[in-house]
């Protein structure tokens, strides 16, 4: 696996690493058990809504550290609305690309940034907590990339059915038995959904 010089630079000398003790908002996404976790801390100017300071902590591989680093550089000095527009593709591009199998690190970093922003907005009455629904499950599936090609499960039409019934998420996937990433994808789906208190069970069927 080859990394760009920029990825290696941010891995060896990460920017904005650490935590903000009196942060206005904190979000943590991912799971050490699954290999990657990122926390993002925000300090926001309440009048201008500009991100005046941002730091991250990372548990994971070189790509995880590099994407945490670059996402803080991209968001610092931006308004919340501007920072929300940063995509995982933008973050990967800023690093001069990532190997397809590591693109999920870029998704995780952006997802954590957006979660921190959402927490700030909810705590300051700038947004309301969204009600969990089938659409929430689909949004989470759109964040899970198939490692071979770096595209999400919905885009690749690997998801054949999504249901939501009294706390149970029901997902049918079209992934053959011989696929080497089959178990990893199931683990990642559970990691994305189990963070929601509304989820009581997750039923995944392979077609």
More confident residue, 179 or 148: 179
Percent of the chain whose predicted confidence (pLDDT) is above 90: 74
The pLDDT of residue 151 is 85
Phi, psi of 62 (to 5 degrees): -60, -40
Confidence of residue 161 (pLDDT cuts 50, 70, 90): very high
Characterize 22-38 residue by residue with b for buried, 16 or more Cβ atoms within 10 angstroms of its Cβ, and e for exposed: ebbbbbbbbbeeebbbb
Q: Is 61 a catalytic residue?
A: no
- Which of 25-34, 48-57, 60-69, 175-184 is predicted least confidently? 25-34
Nearest to 8 by CA among 92, 79, 66: 66
165 has which bridge partners?
168
Average pLDDT on 124-153 reads: 91
The yes-or-no verdict on residue 34 having pLDDT over 60 is no
Q: What is the pLDDT of residue 33?
A: 58
| Active-site choice (8, 20, 34, 101) | 34
> What value does the CA radius of gyration of the chain take, rounded to a whole number of Å?
17
Q: Has residue 31 got a pLDDT over 70? A: no
Q: For the chain, what is the mean pLDDT?
A: 92
**Residue of 103, 105, 117, 185 with catalytic role:** 105
pLDDT-derived band at 170 (thresholds 50, 70, 90) equals very high
Return the structure tokens found at 161. 């059915």
Cβ–Cβ < 8 Å for 79, 48? yes
> For the chain, what is the largest distance between any 2 Cα atoms, rounded to a whole number of angstroms?
55
pLDDT above 70 as % of the chain: 97
Mean pLDDT of 153-178: 94
Rounded Cα–Cα distance for residues 80 and 121 (Å):
9
pLDDT at 32: 63
What does the pLDDT read at residue 16? Answer: 97
For residue 107, count other CB atoms closer than 10 A to its CB: 24
Kindly tell me the burial class for residue 132, based on how many C-beta atoms sit within 10 Å of its own C-beta (0-12, 13-18, 19 or more).
Answer: middle
pLDDT digits (tens, 9 = 90+) for 174-204: 998 899 999 989 988 998 999 899 999 999 9
- Residue 30 pLDDT greater than 90, yes or no: no
As given in the structure block, the two tokens for residue 47 are 């009048």
Please state whether the predicted TM-score (pTM) of the whole model is above 0.75.
yes
């Amino acid at each position: 696996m080859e990394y760009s010089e920029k990825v290696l630079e941010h891995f060896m000398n990460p920017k904005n690493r650490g935590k903000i003790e009196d942060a206005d908002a904190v979000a943590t996404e991912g799971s050490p058990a699954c290999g990657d976790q990122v926390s993002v801390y925000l300090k926001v100017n309440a009048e201008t809504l500009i991100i005046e300071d941002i730091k991250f902590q990372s548990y994971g591989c070189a790509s995880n550290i590099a994407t945490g680093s670059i996402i803080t550089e991209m968001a610092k000095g931006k308004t919340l609305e501007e920072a929300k527009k940063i995509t995982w593709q933008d973050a990967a591009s800023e690093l001069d690309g990532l190997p397809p199998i590591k693109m999920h690190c870029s998704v995780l970093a952006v997802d954590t940034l957006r979660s921190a922003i959402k927490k700030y907005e909810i705590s300051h009455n700038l947004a309301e907590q969204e009600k969990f629904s089938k659409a929430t499950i689909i949004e989470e599936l759109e964040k899970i990339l198939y490692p071979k090609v770096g595209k999400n499960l919905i885009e690749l039409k690997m998801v054949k059915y999504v249901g939501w019934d009294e706390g149970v998420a029901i997902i049918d996937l079209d992934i053959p038995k011989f696929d080497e990433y089959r178990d990893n994808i199931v683990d990642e789906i559970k990691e994305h959904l189990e963070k929601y208190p509304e989820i009581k069970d997750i039923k995944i069927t392979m077609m």
